[in-house]
Amino acid sequence: MHACTFKNESCCSKSCCSILSRRYRIKYQLAEIDEVKESFSQEYQELLHLVRRSIGPLEKVIGAKMPDVEVMYITMLIGSWMTRQGESIEKKVKAIVVCPQGVSVSRLMFQELSGLFPEFIFLDSLSMREFYEYHLSYDIVFSQTKLETEKPLYVTKTFLGREERQRLKQQVMQDLHGYSPNEINLDYVIDIVRNYTKIEDEKGLKKELGYYLFQNQQQVAAIDRGDEKVSLRELIRPGHISLRHSAPSWEDALRLAAEPLVRGGVVEERYVEALVRNPVRDPYIIIAPGLAIPHAAPEEGAREVGMSLLRLQKPVAFTAEEDVQLMIVIAAVDKQQHIRALRQLFKLAASEKDRKRLIEANTVAEIYDMIEMYSSD
């Protein structure tokens, strides 16, 4: 027997047993495979897609891949709940993101836009080839480059500055809804205050202003979450920076670059081996000439969020066409904590002048000074 906190113990028992039974069937592949009705897939195809994208953690708990019939069962439950709440995907703006720069940059761009437009449903981040083959219904497209599409298209960068974010938000809302949002931008308020006085505790001031100015609890929560995101200087500390003349091979360079993370317990040794044994070198880890950001999945042995930097005076061959002198190993335990630091890193990588200064630096202190320069926003 199992304990029940509900008044209707009989009902609870049936529900719990049903869940346990369903988990058992899935784990041992005993789920009944019913024919999927076309009407279901047409009516709920976007919701079904979102459920499939989100099912990973549940599959990890169960220890088996979720059969299609079970995914559809969950989709029906969610769809039924949304109907009772008066919610519908059809009523919301559905957006897709097109990014030709590979998985890492694509995910970051997806994250950036999702945060800027939390009221939209972002279905996918796609390559250009995937975009032209895409079959789901969507309303608008965000892309790094111009595309042939009948839908509203907004060409934007991977990383947006404060003014760029505000302009894009105003343009999109004006086009879709006929109004421009009149939002209070706390960063602008802080800049104004900074012009007239010395700020002793910027985080505290920002939080107090947010509590006073915002009535929306989601906006207040966003301020609190923002405090949790670490900057580049907090991840690439002086002890995580290594200067070497050269490395015999790409694999040796990886081990050298990751050594501070292993030594500090940020990653396990197997995380480094996961980087080394990758048989296909992902070209998208080269984010700028001579600069690579190798990384593996969190489950490969990442214990904490962290970064380490290796500077080589003599380039090491990544491929026959690509050489690397700056290698920044990234360890992430989720999709959130390192986003701010990664955004700052991409801004640094975009500056040819400052990349050259990193490569030509003679001391760890010089490199850390550069890191600090890009860690303020």
CA atoms within 13 A on the CB side of 325: 16
Task: Record the tokens describing residue 251, joined without a space.
Answer: 């694999």
In our burial notation (b when 16+ CB lie closer than 10 A, e otherwise), range 74-95 reads bbeebbeeeeeeeeebeeebbb
Alpha carbons 26 and 24: distance in angstroms, whole number: 5
Q: List residues bridging with 241 in a β-sheet.
A: 309
User: DSSP letter at 293?
Assistant: -
Residue 280 to residues 35, 206, 207, Cα–Cα distance (Å)? 38, 45, 45
Instruction: Please list the helix, strand and coil fractions of the chain in percent, rounded to the nearest 5, in that order.
Output: 55, 15, 35
At position 343, the amino acid (one-letter code) is R
CB count within 10 Å of CB 271 equals 24
At position 244, the amino acid (one-letter code) is R
Alpha carbons 103 and 279: distance in angstroms, whole number: 17
Catalytic residue among 177, 245, 295, 338: 295
Q: Which helix (H) or strand (E) holds 316?
A: strand 306-317
Task: Record the tokens describing residue 265, joined without a space.
Answer: 């317990």
Are 253 and 324 a contacting pair, CB within 8 Å?
Answer: yes
Task: Record the tokens describing residue 87, joined without a space.
Answer: 């919610």
Strands 323-331 and 241-244: unpaired
Task: Record the tokens describing residue 42, joined without a space.
Answer: 């047409």
Q: What is the radius of gyration, based on Cα positions, of the chain?
A: 24
Active site residue 2: no
Strands 291-292 and 323-331: parallel
At position 309, the amino acid (one-letter code) is L
Are 288 and 358 a contacting pair, CB within 8 Å?
Answer: no
Phi first, then psi, for residue 327 (nearest 5°) are -125, 120
Which amino acids are annotated catalytic?
A: 295
